[in-house]
Structure 1
Amino acid sequence: MSKSLLPLSDFNQSLLGFLQASPTPFHATESMASILLSAGYTELFEDQAWQLQEQAGYFVRRNDSSIVAFWLADKSQPLRLLGAHTDSPCLKVKPNASMTDKGYFQLGVEVYGGVLLAPWFDRDLSLAGRVHARIDGKIKAVMINFERAIATVPSLAIHLDREANSSRTINKQTDLPPVLAIVGESKQDLNTILMAEVRKQYESVESILDYELFFYDTQPAAVIGLENEFIASARLDNLLSCYVGLQALLSSGPGQNKVFVCTDHEEVGSVSACGAQGPFLEHTIERIWPSIEDRNRLMANSLMISVDNAHAIHPNYFEKHDENHGPIINQGPVIKVNANQRYATNSFTAAVFKQVCNDVGVKYQSFVTRTDLGCGSTIGPAIASGLGVDTIDIGVPTFGMHSIRELAGSEDAHNLTKVLSHFYEKVSLTD
């Protein structure tokens, strides 16, 4: 069931394809499910009984936006767990979104997560997500993706805001609704547009009941830089980690119990049925090991690696970093540490990760945010507190986190996959 890790160039091209195919958490989860099925994993369903065998791979989805995959080697062995998240900061369409004013058709949006808003202006935007429709008398979920550019958020010309370059502010309610069309004789309406889009898959659609739709940048992910040093893309935080974790799962040997979890809603706190603070992962593990005694003993010897991007030191803003903790792109994965448990790393889990890096000859770095600045968080503390499992937070160094287009190193994802694949195979974590 395992396959060899792709060479660097092929790996990056495959990563770019994954990013392009995954404009929303629903599409990212569908992409991962498709890859797992192709690798011989069996899909399980939460409302059905599970018949599990050792030396076999399985996966289960929740809400179409979170996924847990696992390789069951030997139920008596501890677990090697990896985790990431499927969501990214973006503009999400409101329920009653259609707006027509001054001759233009627009959609009202909410800001999902901690979005860096300025880069969203003047981009070619498309729309994707999940629609629930009544089809053949039943409620069905339909994935949609317009793929082509259908909208933009136009900037106000500098002539009308002479202070734009020195003191620009962005009003989330009034400045962000994207423009989709000029209103003609027939009034534009989102429900009608969605009906037409769903009919491409189901001619018998009767009505649109609800939707979760997200705007995204249509510019393709790319390898860039004078020497091809960088990967530029939307949603590197945190689809890069999803891809890395999935490749580590599939390229590692079959000797150990391996769990890979990608949850939704991390960017808004992870508090949901399918988020890291919800019971999805715990429910899955409970169904594999129903005995509380067996499960607790396994967890005592298990380890979780939470994979989420880290802030690379920025050459134009180096003063925003602690001078001894400025990770550099393409210089290895970053161990993230925070005294207030915004990251779950402790000295034991850091030591294990460093040894795993040493085993495969990959350099590592450390990140601590400046003491006078706030610190973000990850799924690491949520899973550590829920499962009671030793956990470390790590990730690849990144520029422009939470922008519409982020930048990471073209070597870092591949090197991290080597590390995580070895972690999945390592017989003893303390050797």
Structure 2
Amino acid sequence: MKKEQFNQELLKFLNASPTPFHAVATMAERLQAEGFKRLDESHEWSLKPGGRYFVIRNGSSIVAFSGIKTPMELTGVRLFGAHTDSPCLKLKPQPEIHRKGYLQLGVEVYGGALLNPWFDRDLSIAGRVTCLDSNGNIRNLLIDWQRPVATIPSLAIHLDREANNSRTVNPQTQLPAVLMQVGEDQKVDFRQLLLDRVREEHDAADVVRVLDFELCLYDVQGASLVGMSEQFITSARLDNLLSCYTGMQALLASNGDYPAVLVCNDHEEVGSTSAEGASGPFLRSLLLRLTEEEGRLGQTLSRSVMFSADNAHGIHPNFMDRHDDNHGPVLNQGPVIKVNANQRYATNSVTSSFYRQLSEQLGVPYQVFVVRTDMACGSTIGPLTAAELGVKTLDIGAPQWAMHSIREMCGTDDAYHLFKVSQAFFNTESLPMV
């Protein structure tokens, strides 16, 4: 795949995936189109040697795998992990706020979001709705208004003269989104609006009631190539849908000669502690089903390697003092090996050297990131998965700006370079041993 096609399909994937549910549905559609078969965790599996399969949990996490031909305890597994969730504003269960003739929606902040960029955006609503139909069946349906239906207006500078000096955001009082103007005494039931949308979007006249929902606001401005030479990509959810897409493309492009697994977990931004998060049993239970017994799983993992792919902090030209002088990754100069002495990243010298060797064989650049010693370091699914499975792990990612903003920015070269190395990783016969 050429870089231009890779990036154009990345833009489409980002636009089609406003929520983890939509991201997984989009990935599942692409995998099925390429011959992957969906499995059900609640059923017995009958796998064909060399077959290609995927499993979904909660609609928001997915594991896809291929190349299961020989006993995996002899070959090890090539694992690529990422996460489907991004910081955002999620609607509260009873979100309606009626004030001064306006209907607003109350929100919770999901993850470590930058809040100021959410003001004055054209926002839409998307997510999962759990419904009851006329036959008494409970159905889970995805919805996406796909147009601006809400906004969070800023307060005028005239009413807050210190806004440019010391503006803080109270998420309880200042983030409710304006949905519509109504009569002073008119009360609008948001669940009725949802019901109307479900019926329209899914042509589902038999849906009679909305039982509950998991919905979030998102910016309708689509992903774009930016810059005089179009060297950058700007979009919501680059952290970490860029890595999900990259891992998927690498798996699709792999030759299938060796066991390869792509895992994209939900809930990384809030600690990963859930049934479908990286701290949960999803990946381990799948690998155990493939290896059939604990002993073989242990042997397999001792020969395996995982790439934990999550974007890295590129050095910002306006804030260069926020980086260590020797570890400031630059956009479009290669994926970033992420290192932390306190195990906030799972990289060690073995996995780092393995990645360096693969990159150099391909002629692909790479960089290294270490957080400033006087600053706290973020983390990824890497240490969590390494601790859960006991697998050698590398933390890697494309450098980006504006991490956790409503609109983030990365280079057009870096995800493609990570794709090329990850494809080689899936195809390599020899994995490092300790």
TM tier, shorter chain?
over 0.9
Distance 2:168 2:308 in 1: 35
Separation (CA, whole Å) in 2 of partners of 1:169 and 1:73: 53
Residue 366 of structure 1 pairs with residue 368 of structure 2: yes
TM-score w.r.t. the length of structure 2 is 0.97
- Cα shift readout 1:178-201 (whole Å, capped 9, x = no counterpart): 101001375322111001011122
2:17 corresponds to: 22
Kindly indicate whether residue 46 of structure 2 is the aligned counterpart of residue 51 of structure 1: yes
Cα RMSD of the aligned pairs, angstroms, is 1.0
Partner secondary structure for residue 142 of structure 1: strand
Match of 1:197 in 2: 197
| Percent identity between the two aligned chains | 55
Shift in Å, 1:161: 0.1
Partner Cα distance (1:75, 1:394) in 2: 28
Question: Mean alpha-carbon deviation: is it higher for 48-57 or for 234-243?
Answer: 48-57
Tell me the residue number matched to 2:7.
12
Deviates more, 1:389-398 or 1:178-187: 178-187
1:167: Cα distance to partner?
0.8
Contact 2:312–2:338 (CA<8 Å) still a contact in 1? Answer: yes
Instruction: Report the counterpart of residue 307 of structure 2 in structure 1.
Output: 305
Q: Which residue of the partner structure matches residue 138 of structure 2? A: 139
Matched, 1:426 2:428: yes
Counterparts in 2 of 1:269 and 1:430: CA distance versus 1, 3 Å: closer
Q: Is contact 2:53–2:65 with CA below 8 Å preserved after alignment?
A: yes
Residue aligning to 1:207: 209
Aligned partner of 2:275 among 273, 279, 283: 273
Q: Answer whether contact 2:223 2:236 (CA < 8 A) is retained.
A: yes
Cα distance in 2 for partners of 1:430, 1:187 equals: 63
Alignment of 1:71 onto 2:66: yes
Please name the residue that 1:61 is paired with.
Answer: 56
- Structure 2 CA distance, aligned partners of 1:34 and 1:358? 34
> Could you say which residue in structure 2 is the equivalent of 1:188?
188
Q: Which residue does the alignment assign to 1:415?
A: 417
The whole-number CA distance in structure 2 between the counterparts of 1:316 and 1:63 is 41
Q: C-alpha offsets along residues 98-120 of structure 1, whole Å, 9 cap, x if unaligned?
A: 11101111000000000000100
Cα deviation for residue 138 of structure 1 reads 1.0
Distance 1:11 1:68 in 2: 21
Matches of 1:246 and 1:93, distance apart in 2: 30
Q: Where do 1:282-297 residues align within 5 Å? A: 282-297=284-299
Unmatched segments (≥5 aa) in structure 1 = 1-5
Q: Which amino acid aligns with 1:369?
A: V
Query: 100, 103, 106: which is aligned to 1:102?
Result: 100
- How much does 1:294 deviate? 1.4
How far apart are the structure 1 equivalents of 2:372 and 2:186? Answer: 55
Aligned 1:394-405 pairs, distance under 5 A: 394-405=396-407
Superposed, 1:190-339 pairs within 5 Å as 190-200=190-200, 201=202, 202-339=204-341
CA contact 1:53–1:72 (8 Å) conserved in 2? no
**Partner letter of residue 322 of structure 2?**
K
Q: How many residues align?
A: 426
Partner of 1:161: 160
Partner residue in 2 for 1:346: 348
Q: Determine the C-alpha separation between the residues in 2 that align with 1:412 and 1:12.
A: 10
Partner of 2:118: 120
Distance in 1, Cα, partners of 2:347 & 2:256: 27
Question: What corresponds to 2:392 in structure 1?
Answer: 390
**SS at structure 1 position matched to 2:255:** coil
**Offset, 1:429:** 2.5
Q: Which residue of 2 aligns with 1:31?
A: 26
Counterpart in 2 of 1:3?
none
Q: Is 1:59–1:69's contact at 8 Å kept on the other side of the alignment?
A: yes
Question: Is residue 65–residue 262 contact of structure 2 (8 Å, CA) maintained in 1?
Answer: yes
Unaligned runs of 5+ in 2: none
User: Hey, what's the Cα distance between the residues in 2 that align with 1:378 and 1:48?
Assistant: 31
How far is the alpha carbon of 1:413 from its aligned partner? 1.0
| Paired residues of 2:401 and 2:409 also in contact (CA < 8 A) | yes
CA–CA distance in structure 2, aligned partners of residues 44 and 359 of structure 1: 36
Distance, in Å, in 2 between the alignment partners of 1:49 and 1:71 is: 18
What is the CA–CA distance in structure 1 between the aligned matches of 2:37 and 2:89, rounded to whole Å? 34
C-alpha deviation, 1:430, in angstroms: 4.1
Partner SS for 1:48: coil
Distance 2:68 2:40 in 1: 20
TM-score with structure 1 setting the length: 0.98
1:283-333 Cα deviation digits (max 9, x unpaired): 111111112221111111100000000000000000000010000000000
CA apart distance, 1:74:
2.1
Mapped to 1, the partners of 2:84 and 2:55 lie a distance apart of 15
Please report how far the alpha carbon of residue 381 of structure 1 lies from its aligned counterpart in structure 2 after TM superposition: 0.6
Structure 2 partner of 1:151: 150
Q: Supply the distance in 1 between the matched residues of 2:353 and 2:124 (Cα, whole angstroms).
A: 44
Deviations 1:175-226 (A, max 9, x none): 0001010013753221110010111221111211110001000001001111
